[in-house]
Amino acid sequence: MTVLCSIHDLEDSTSKGFASHVGPVFAVKYDGQIFVYKNECPHLGVNLEFQPDEFLDSEGQLIQCSTHGALFNIEDGHCLSGPCQGDYLTPVEHVIEDDQIVIPK
């Protein structure tokens, strides 16, 4: 099990990266909901972020890969444009316990 952070540590339309027992992951808060994905671009398998905790495009509306610019829906990880168009980010099972985002074992 890995505790990522409190849901209150994430502002809306922001993201944070974490090490976890299932490998590197990141969490996004969007429209008050939390989404967690593996930090792995479906194109080349590399980490996605531009800078630590920067996984989103400049408007905070889509997840963007820093390597070749692929854009992904925050809600389902679907790649909308870029070299892996049509592929998906890998969602990470998680629960919210006492306002903490937790990846169970």
- Positions touching ligand FES (CB under 6 A) are 41, 43-44, 46, 65, 67-68, 70, 82-84
Q: Any idea which residue has 């390597």 for tokens?
A: 67
User: What six digits make up the tokens of 51?
Assistant: 């800078």
What minimum distance in Å lies between the beta carbon of 28 and ligand FES?
A: 16
- Which is nearest to 33 in space by CA: 4, 68, 7, 70? 7
Measured from the CB atom, is 1 or 44 closer to ligand FES?
A: 44
Measured from the CB atom, is 92 or 102 closer to ligand FES?
A: 92
